[in-house]
Chains A and B, each alone.
Chain A
Amino acid sequence: MRQDLYAAYSLWLREMLRFFRLKSRLIGSLGAPFFFLAFLGMGFGSGPALPGIPQGTAYVSFLTPGIIGMTLLFSSTFAGLSVLWDREFGFLKEIMVAPVSRTAIILGRTAGGVTTSIVQATVILLSGIALGMTVTGPWGVLLSFVFMIFIAATFIGLGLAFASKMEDMSGFSLIMNFLIFPLFFLSGALFPLDRFPSAIRMLAYFNPLTYGVDGLRHSLIGTGTFAPALDLAVLVVSCLAMLGLGAYLFEISEVK
């Protein structure tokens, strides 16, 4: 048990080493969300307020939690999928042949992915504040990190599930374009959900990121669509379900 925790910590440590060593990847992966935030914020923030956004809330304040959600969605799914890279480059075998429980391996990888995702999300949060977002206060920011952890863990589970079922990286762009982008657009990250036709809105209600973005808005800018408790409850359930699924599929996959 102690050894398993130590192994999980070692896996986390490796993720940190790799993450901070690859500065170009870090900057590269932050590029897209930053430009979304900066240019959408400038473009939509200057005109008349978008319908559906509460009076007195600047668009950049509304947008930043959404882009934080986007950052977490992309980086966490990517962290889960990175099992594929380890498989491709052979390192997964080194991990799998070690006398460490599979649960500890998943724990270490999830902890690593959550950390790197939240580091990136924090950069986006700070950028939002620099671009004129008004934050409710320190407790709100603290609460937003709770939401961030559950959002990140949910999508690491998703990435892990896909990585366990995929043979190689050929399906990667399929997942990116047909799963990750729709999840992003259907989360209310860019505009309020009630702008969607009701049928599409129903889809958004099945998207865990919808509740994640809503929870982030509650904690960071003090407005939102659902009750914050509902947001948290849905995220906890989806996090457990996705991590459970990812862990199960990872466990039964064999290393060829």
Chain B
Amino acid sequence: MTWNKSVNTLMGGTACKDALMNNRNPREDVAILIKGLTKRFNGLTAVDAVDLNIKKGELFGLLGPNGAGKSTLIKMLTTMLKPTGGSATVWGYDIARERNEVRSSIGVVFQDPALDTMLTGRENLDFHGRMYGMSSSLRKKRIEDVLELVDLSDKAKIKVEDYSGGMRRRLEIARGLMHHPNVLFLDEPTLGLDVQTRRHIWQYILSMNQREGVTIVLTTHYMEEADYLCDRVAIVDNGRIVALDTPDNLKDLIGADTITLETQNGADQLQQSLQSFDWIKSTSISAESVELQVDHAQLRVPQLIEAAYRNGVIIRSVGLHAPTLEDVFLKFTGKKIRESEGTRNAMYAMMPRRR
């Protein structure tokens, strides 16, 4: 009985699915609703009273250093860990009381590989489809679909132990998607992959979100990944969400772009000659350099050079800096992501570690 319900949700019995969603979810646009969710492990609070809403169809990012609590949060939402406090629903189902319904609504790509290396790529996918109750013909079709999506069609008959790291990751992403989940969780999807593979996987993630309309929740500690992929980003630090908005809005909090002009003869003279430009928000001088706060920095550079030339100031170099999520992270946590990673790791090393 329970199963039939979830099968319909899964396999896209559309009418039934809609009816179900409306019943279950008073707020139709919400995919995930988190209230005061908390997880403590012997004294260490990994997730600290997190409140969060994630909308349907959204590509949502949890950005933070290792040990910030992102993975623990994901593990609770995917029913792998029981919360010690608070509550959450995924696709309208309570993560503590309706675990099987939650499980049928989601796909998960874990941070550590979770493939059977002794089976081939196709066998791994086939096993997955079986566990999610897909019929033989549906499995066959979906396996072809998702293998094509991640460019592994020609590698399907090879045992996973002979796959490279990037291929394994792609297979796992394909698998997470295979049973048409409503929400797909990706825990550090590009961790430890080379730049080229990372770019590819980004494309797969985007096309999944756009083509299949899947709500995606991903965790990452790569700034550029969150910036490039996510509709909204939550910055997580010490088990709490310290900032939450679109990447652009977050960067706007930092303010304008910075232009640094290094001169050969007289930064003071340059500063004076630039006073006529009303679009310069502020200037400051350090040694032979002038720093300007402006919007749309790249459009302003030609005018600045010209003004300097007219006033006989020779410019040695020009530097542009647009705010990044790194700056946002720095602003909200008071540290760079690499630094905080270090301190957290040191802390972890001292604690008895459970796998």
A90 part of interface (Cβ distance < 8 Å):
yes
Chain A residues with CB under 8 Å of B115's CB are 90-91, 94
Which parts of B73-124 form the interface with A (CB within 8 Å)? 75, 78-82, 100-101, 103-104, 106, 108, 110, 112-119, 123
B337 part of interface (Cβ distance < 8 Å):
no
A178 part of interface (Cβ distance < 8 Å):
no
Q: How far is the CA of A87 from the CA of B110 in the complex (A)?
A: 13
Decide: A93 near B103, CB < 8 A? Known: A3-B3, A254-B81. Answer: no
B80 pairs with A17, CB closer than 8 A: no
Chain A contact residues: helix, strand, loop or mixed = helix
**Interface size counted on chain B using CB atoms at 8 A:** 34
| Residue-wise interface mask of A (15-57) relative to B, using a CB-CB cutoff of 8 A (1 in contact, 0 not) | 0011001100000000000000000000000000000000000
Please give the distance in Å from B245's CB to the nearest CB on chain A.
30
Which parts of B324-355 form the interface with A (CB within 8 Å)? 354-355
B7 part of interface (Cβ distance < 8 Å):
yes
| Residue-wise interface mask of A (70-114) relative to B, using a CB-CB cutoff of 8 A (1 in contact, 0 not) | 000000000000000001011111111111110000000000000
B118 pairs with A22, CB closer than 8 A: yes
A3 pairs with B7, CB closer than 8 A: yes
Q: How far is the CA of A22 from the CA of B123 in the complex (A)?
A: 16
B127 part of interface (Cβ distance < 8 Å):
yes
B131 touches which one: A89, A92, A95 (CB < 8 A)? A95
Q: How far is the CA of A13 from the CA of B112 in the complex (A)?
A: 24
Which parts of A210-256 form the interface with B (CB within 8 Å)? 254-256
Chain B residues with CB under 8 Å of A194's CB are none
Chain B residues with CB under 8 Å of A96's CB are 80
Decide: A10 near B131, CB < 8 A? Known: A18-B116, A90-B112. Answer: yes
A7 pairs with B130, CB closer than 8 A: yes
B190 part of interface (Cβ distance < 8 Å):
no
A91 pairs with B116, CB closer than 8 A: yes
B110 pairs with A100, CB closer than 8 A: no
Please give the distance in Å from B137's CB to the nearest CB on chain A.
15
B132 part of interface (Cβ distance < 8 Å):
yes
Please give the distance in Å from A110's CB to the nearest CB on chain B.
17
A17 pairs with B123, CB closer than 8 A: yes
A14 pairs with B81, CB closer than 8 A: no
Decide: A99 near B132, CB < 8 A? Known: A14-B116, A254-B80. Answer: yes
B6 part of interface (Cβ distance < 8 Å):
yes
Decide: A99 near B80, CB < 8 A? Known: A17-B119, A90-B113. Answer: no
| Least CB separation from B119: chain A residue | A17
Q: How far is the CA of A35 from the CA of B278 in the complex (A)?
A: 93
Q: How far is the CA of A95 from the CA of B355 in the complex (A)?
A: 17
B128 part of interface (Cβ distance < 8 Å):
yes
A6 part of interface (Cβ distance < 8 Å):
yes
B103 pairs with A98, CB closer than 8 A: yes
Q: How far is the CA of A13 from the CA of B110 in the complex (A)?
A: 24
Chain B residues with CB under 8 Å of A18's CB are 116, 118-119
A99 pairs with B127, CB closer than 8 A: no
B133 part of interface (Cβ distance < 8 Å):
yes
A6 pairs with B133, CB closer than 8 A: yes
B114 pairs with A90, CB closer than 8 A: yes
A99 pairs with B6, CB closer than 8 A: yes
Which parts of B43-63 form the interface with A (CB within 8 Å)? none
A98 pairs with B80, CB closer than 8 A: no
Please give the distance in Å from B305's CB to the nearest CB on chain A.
56
Q: How far is the CA of A137 from the CA of B131 in the complex (A)?
A: 42
Q: How far is the CA of A6 from the CA of B134 in the complex (A)?
A: 10
A2 pairs with B3, CB closer than 8 A: yes
Chain A residues with CB under 8 Å of B110's CB are 90, 93-94
Please give the distance in Å from A131's CB to the nearest CB on chain B.
33
Please give the distance in Å from A255's CB to the nearest CB on chain B.
5
User: Which of B106, B113, B114 has the most chain A CB within a 10 Å cutoff?
Assistant: B114
Q: How far is the CA of A2 from the CA of B354 in the complex (A)?
A: 36
Chain A residues with CB under 8 Å of B106's CB are 97
B103 pairs with A99, CB closer than 8 A: yes
A167 pairs with B355, CB closer than 8 A: yes
Chain A residues with CB under 8 Å of B130's CB are 6-7, 10, 13
User: Which of B110, B130, B131 has the most chain A CB within a 10 Å cutoff?
Assistant: B131
Q: How far is the CA of A207 from the CA of B110 in the complex (A)?
A: 41
Where the two chains meet, the residues of B that have a C-beta atom closer than 8 Å to any C-beta of A are 3, 6-7, 75, 78-82, 100-101, 103-104, 106, 108, 110, 112-119, 123, 127-128, 130-133, 175, 354-355
20 further A-B contacts with Cβ under 8 Å, apart from A14-B116, A18-B118, A96-B80, are: A1-B3, A4-B3, A6-B130, A7-B131, A14-B119, A14-B127, A17-B119, A90-B112, A91-B114, A91-B116, A92-B114, A93-B108, A93-B110, A93-B112, A97-B78, A99-B6, A99-B100, A100-B131, A254-B82, A256-B355
Task: Provide a sorted-by-A list of 6 A–B residue pairs whose CB atoms are within 8 angstroms.
Answer: A17-B119, A89-B113, A90-B115, A98-B131, A99-B103, A255-B80
Where the two chains meet, the residues of A that have a C-beta atom closer than 8 Å to any C-beta of B are 1-4, 6-7, 10, 13-14, 17-18, 21-22, 87, 89-101, 167-168, 254-256
Sorted nearest first, the 7 A-B pairs with minimum C-beta distance are: A10-B130, A99-B104, A98-B131, A99-B103, A90-B114, A94-B114, A3-B133
